[in-house]
Copies of this chain bind each other. A is one copy, B any other.
Amino acid sequence: MTLIAQYHVEAQTGIGFLLQQGHILTVIDPQGEQVADLVAFGQSYKTEWLSSGRSIDYSETIYLTTGHVLYSNRSTPMFTIVEDTVGKHDFLFAACSSEMFRILGGIEGYHPSCFENLVKNLSPFGITGDMIPTPFNLFMNASVLPTGQIKIAPPLSRPGSFVRLRAEINLIVGITACSTEACNNGTCKPIDVEITN
């Protein structure tokens, strides 16, 4: 494996970048217990987006891990998860946003959010806010109870935990270090990203 790029994503920030078909994206939680939101779009068709609905449908599970494929809304494989040292991630929740902090947290003032960080970092690639789909929320520990209720617990990731994904087409990728204290055991921390081939 040759290192092509390396990004350090500071707490409550994000990055946007192009990822070539066949290259490997590794998302690392350097300190542990930190969520990273991942979205992707086709380079050929920017209106093609990572689809939780298709990925969950074709995998027949809400917990996608090693061996599972992340599909686009057009049913195109976008990523294959080739290695996962944690095994529990969320694919149900929208990116946190100022509206979420207001509706669920009663926070009327400014709060950094994954949605803002995705839009800011993906706009140079022609992606607008209304195009942001439900992210694959790496390391987010959301359990569905038999009643349907969702319970958020601290991520199961430990310092150095990672998920490795192979790009199946040329992609525009957005990744954040999640801004919601409640999802990250109280403290928002950084995320590291590596691209290799």
Say whether B149 contacts A53, CB under 8 Å: no
Q: Which of B57, B103, B144 contacts A62 (CB 8 A)?
A: B144
Tell whether, in the assembled complex, residue B149 and residue A60 are in contact, meaning their CB atoms are under 8 Å apart. Answer: yes
The residue in chain B whose Cβ has the minimal distance to the Cβ of A148 is B63
**Are B45 and A149 closer than 8 Å at their CB atoms?**
no
B-facing residues in A147-183 (Cβ within 8 Å)? 147-150
Contacts of A73 in B (CB 8 A): 94, 130, 132
- State the CA gap A15–B60 with chains docked (Å): 28
By a CB distance below 8 angstroms, the chain B residues around A48 are 130
CA–CA, A44 to B52, complex, Å?
26
A66 CB to closest chain B CB (Å) equals 14
Q: How far is the CB of A92 from chain B (nearest CB, A)?
A: 5
- Looking at chain A's contact residues, the main secondary structure is loop
Asked whether A17 is an interface residue with its Cβ less than 8 Å from the other chain, the reply is no
B150 touches A56 (CB 8 A): yes
Question: A53–B134 contact, CB under 8 A?
Answer: yes
Some 11 contacts from A to B, beta carbons below 8 A apart, are A45-B130, A52-B52, A54-B94, A54-B99, A56-B92, A56-B93, A57-B100, A60-B149, A61-B150, A62-B150, A63-B148
Contact surface of A with B, Cβ cutoff 8 Å: 45, 47-49, 51-54, 56-58, 60-63, 73-75, 92-95, 97, 99-100, 103-104, 128-134, 144, 146-150
- List 18 other contacts, CB 8 Å, given A75-B99, A144-B144, A146-B146: A47-B128, A52-B53, A52-B92, A53-B133, A56-B92, A56-B150, A57-B92, A57-B93, A57-B100, A60-B150, A61-B148, A61-B150, A62-B144, A63-B148, A74-B99, A75-B103, A133-B133, A134-B134
